[in-house]
Amino acid sequence: MIPNERPRPARPETRDLSELRALKARLPELAPAIDMQVELVELHRRIQLRVSTPSPVPASEREARRRQGRRALELSDVPIEWADAGLAARQTADILHRHEVLEPADHRRLVAVVREGSDLAPLVAAWYAETAQGPGTRTPASTRPPMLDDVLQLALRPFFGRAVEVAERGIDLGDWSRPWCPFCGASPDFAVYVDDDHRQLICSRCIGRWEWEAIGCPWCPNRDRRQLPTFTSPDHRYRLCACDGCRRYLKAYNAQGAPRPVMPAVDTIATLPLDAAAAQRGYIGV
The count of chain residues that interact with Zn ion, using the rule CB under 5 A, is 15
Q: From the CB of 119, what's the least distance to Zn ion, in Å?
A: 24
Q: From the CB of 29, what's the least distance to Zn ion, in Å?
A: 30
- Helix, strand or coil, per DSSP, at residue 221: coil
Which range binds Zn ion by CB under 5 A, 36-44, 51-59, 118-126, 196-204? 196-204
Q: What angle do CA 173, 200, 139 make, to 5 degrees?
A: 80
Q: Is 240 in the site for Zn ion (CB under 5 A)?
A: no
Q: Is 191 in the site for Zn ion (CB under 5 A)?
A: no
| 229, containing H or E segment | none
CB 252 within 8 A of CB 194: no
Q: What angle do CA 70, 74, 79 make, to 5 degrees?
A: 150
**Residues sharing a CB contact under 8 Å with residue 219, sequence separation 6 or more, in sequence order:** 179, 243, 246, 248, 286
Q: Is 153 in the site for Zn ion (CB under 5 A)?
A: no
Q: Is 128 in the site for Zn ion (CB under 5 A)?
A: no
DSSP letter, residue 263:
-
Which range binds Zn ion by CB under 5 A, 25-33, 53-61, 144-152, 195-203? 195-203
Q: From the CB of 286, what's the least distance to Zn ion, in Å?
A: 11
Q: From the CB of 199, what's the least distance to Zn ion, in Å?
A: 15
**Residues sharing a CB contact under 8 Å with residue 71, sequence separation 6 or more, in sequence order:** 65, 131, 132, 181, 182, 183, 184, 185
Q: What angle do CA 191, 195, 200 make, to 5 degrees?
A: 30
Tell which one of 145, 229, 245, 273 touches Zn ion (CB under 5 A). Answer: 245
Tell which one of 38, 206, 262, 278 touches Zn ion (CB under 5 A). Answer: 206
- Binding to Zn ion, residues 60-89 (CB under 5 A): none
Which stretches of the chain bind Zn ion, using CB under 5 A?
181, 183-184, 186, 203, 205-206, 208, 217, 219-220, 222, 243, 245-246
